[in-house]
A and B are shown apart, each in its own frame.
Chain A
Amino acid sequence: MKKLTLKNNWLVMLIFSTVVLTAPIWLSPLGANYPDLLQKFAIFGIFAIGFNILFGLTGYLSFGHATFLGIGSYSAVWCFKLFSMNVLPGIIIGTLIAGLFALIIGYVSLRRSGIYFSILTLAFAQMFYSLAYSVLTPITNGETGLQLSNEDPRYIDALFGVAVEPGLPSTNLFGQIMSGYPGFYFCAILLIIGFYISLKIFRSPFGLKLRAIKSNQTRMRYTGFNPRPYLLTAFIISGMYAGLAGSLMAVTDPLAGAERMQWTASGEVVLMTILGGSGTLLGPLFGVVMIKYFENIFSAMNPSTLSEFFNFLPEFLQQVMVSITQHFVGQGWHLTLGALFMLVVIFLPGGVMEGVTLVNKYIRLKLGLVNTASKTKQDPVRKNLVDPIAQPLTEQTNDSQKEEVK
């Protein structure tokens, strides 16, 4: 009989989908249930899941993934301008073009590994960022950013005779406007699909080989694998995730600017992945929710909201608390994020997911759920742990015995 555990893909997907789709409900006590933030959670979730396929599985730290985010955005906006305000062509073309650029950048960057790979990707990212402001202004519209206008041709829409309303058109999915909650649900469904693909990759032979590359690339080569195409495929897949996230940004807000490609944006996804736990399925999503929550909620706080919060204290203490904590909110929310990041990296190097695993273990231990089978399994390990210590001891005794015999 098959046991229903988290090894079952469908059970995982069922739980995940339920949690994602009911997010507006369970996030309301936290004050994070407004569509704008929910969309950000979903979009950056896709970005981080994709980044985790490269960084979490192969260990190659790309510092230029925001490039693909920007490329996805620009491609999608151009689709809205040239073809249709329907979002489907936009996200498909955005994803594909980001994949194409990932192929080129990956092909060059993956010739090196470690810090050199990171530097190469960073160099590419900065190059694209500068190009967007200079040479490529006809495509990117420079500092103003690429925007929709009433003069855009929109050939496909014109072909099907979509009614042109006065003012700027908004993105839609076959008539359904893509802003507010519908926009969130559209992003959420793509997040669920993206998570499913990532889950399949994690549990496939392909994913196992990627993890083996992270663990020992030399052994991989002498075992008969060519690591380069594996790495390139992982790079392209994660680039396409970033492209999808970028085009979804354009879907929810149809304009694209080069600041999306800045190195801080590339660094943000690295932070999210490490904070949540790289190499784990859910970790990057935890990281996204934490960072985006702090960014939106803490930065919106000010001394007056804080003094309301500390209302229960005597007036003197209230003022003290406010004067301390006000540095951590508003403009200073980065301070909170930095402190949190330091705490996680020092005490939970495996990210938030490590904490989840520890708590899970503790609860199972308290409830006596640890089955005896796993205890017996540990025996060989204990034997192996003892072995290296026991070996010299026995050799010593052998030697001393020999001496005695002599």
Chain B
Amino acid sequence: MSYILDIRGVNKTFGGLQALSDIQLKIEAGTTHAIIGPNGAGKSTLLNCCIGRLIPDTGSVTFNGMNMIGKKPHEINHAGMVRVFQTPEIFPDLTLLQNMMIPALAKRDGMFKFNPFKCMSKEDDIQHAAMEALQEIGLEKAYDQHAGSMSRGDKRRLEVAMGLIQKPSLLLLDEPTAGMARHDTNATIDLLKQLTSNGMTKVIIEHDMHVVFSLADTISVLAQGRIIATGSPDEIRNNPKVKEAYLGETEDE
């Protein structure tokens, strides 16, 4: 079995708070792995440790056989790991088309390229790819609108599409459907299911159990900085420990 992402013994403390303690997580290539857990369990911290926003105190993060600890965010992006944030991180002052072109340019130009004498309007393949990506999320008609004026759901879909245009081998999604209306959520689920058939590996943090159980192949449950269970959706559903942590059934007993 090949693991695309291998997290071993990751610890992270903020002041006196143990945000993550001894996290062991292996993500199998080509699968969808969901991470669930109550608020403050350390889900986002774990993702931040993967993409270089935070550096774990101890432990290792190996992606495709490469050590990711200490690498810069842009280097990790070029290794093939792309993250979609919880609050949409887009370019609010640029148009939707430009928002799409930036990641496409990143894929082509690398971390730095000085090309001031190329004309943006003549970059046909980049524009074409960006337009196609906008069509996939149904925003092609608003291509010349500023991204800042979009609704929250559209911003989120835009950000997912911006991640996808780079064709990453691992996509990290932090609550991709939070704040979306039900039909938008379903559209997002369909979009993400489609990716699985393309062989893209995904890690999803999600609160919406409908999304989790319709997408995930494997689920890990995180509570108070520890992984308390990992298994198939059915195993997790029936795991007493999970019920205890998630639904707080201990108090009832």
Contact = CB atoms under 8 A, between A and B. Distances in A.
Interface of A: 7, 9, 197, 200-201, 203-209, 211-212, 214-216, 218-226, 229-230, 233, 376-377, 379-381, 384-385, 387-388, 391, 394-395
A211 B78 CA distance: 21
Interface stretch (B4-12, B27-35, B93-101, B231-239): B93-101
Give the residue among B92, B102, B114 with the most A Cβ atoms within 10 A. B102
A209 B85 CA distance: 20
Nearest to A228: B112
Contacts, number: 131
18 contacts: A200-B117, A203-B119, A203-B120, A204-B117, A205-B109, A206-B118, A212-B94, A212-B98, A212-B102, A219-B90, A221-B73, A222-B83, A223-B166, A224-B103, A224-B106, A377-B144, A380-B142, A380-B145
A219 B91 contact: yes
Nearest to B77: A224
Given A204-B116, A216-B90, A226-B111, A7 B121 contact: yes
Contacts of B103: 223-224
Contacts of A233: 114
A230 B77 CA distance: 17
B118 A391 contact: no
B105 interface: yes
A215 B94 contact: yes
B181 A394 contact: yes
Contacts of A7: 121
Interface stretch (B59-67, B151-159, B188-196, B221-229): B151-159
Contacts of A381: 142, 145, 149
B183 to A, nearest CB: 10
Contacts of B249: none
B207 interface: no
A230 B112 contact: yes
Contact of B89 (A204, A222, A379, A385): A222
A385 B154 CA distance: 11
A9 B93 CA distance: 23
Contacts of A388: 151-152
A395 B139 contact: no
B107 A224 contact: yes
B107 A384 contact: no
Interface of B: 51, 72-74, 77-78, 82-83, 85, 89-94, 98, 101-103, 105-107, 109-121, 123, 126, 139, 141-142, 144-145, 149-154, 162, 166, 181
A169 B82 CA distance: 63
Nearest to B172: A222
Contact of B91 (A205, A212, A391): A212
A207 B119 CA distance: 10
Given A204-B116, A229-B112, 14 more contacts: A9-B119, A200-B116, A204-B117, A205-B118, A208-B94, A211-B93, A222-B73, A223-B102, A377-B142, A380-B141, A380-B145, A381-B149, A384-B150, A384-B154
Given A214-B93, A223-B162, A384 B51 contact: no
A219 B90 CA distance: 6
B111 A208 contact: no
Contacts of A377: 141-142, 144-145
Given A222-B77, A225-B74, A208 B102 contact: yes
| Residue from the set A204, A205, A206 with the largest chain B CB neighbour count within 10 Å | A205
Contact of B74 (A205, A215, A221, A384): A221
A203 B130 CA distance: 17
Contacts of B114: 206, 233
A128 B115 CA distance: 32
B120 A205 contact: yes
A229 B113 CA distance: 9
A225 B111 contact: yes
Contacts of A225: 74, 102, 106, 111-112
Top 7 nearest A-B pairs by Cβ distance? Answer: A224-B77, A224-B106, A380-B142, A215-B91, A215-B93, A387-B151, A219-B89
A220 B94 CA distance: 13
A208 B98 contact: yes
Nearest to A374: B144
Nearest to B143: A377
A404 B150 CA distance: 34
A216 B64 CA distance: 29
Contacts of A197: 116
A201 B116 contact: yes
Contacts of B73: 221-222
Given A203-B119, A224-B78, A208 B105 contact: yes
A124 to B, nearest CB: 24
Given A225-B111, A377-B142, A218 B89 contact: yes
Nearest to A379: B141
A212 B102 CA distance: 8
A263 B19 CA distance: 47
A376 B117 CA distance: 34
B92 A215 contact: yes
B166 A224 contact: yes
A220 B166 CA distance: 13
Contact of A224 (B111, B115, B149): B111
Interface centre among B72, B110, B115, B151 (most CB of A within 10 A): B151
Contacts of A387: 151, 153-154, 181
Contacts of B105: 205, 208-209
Nearest to A8: B121
Contacts of B83: 222
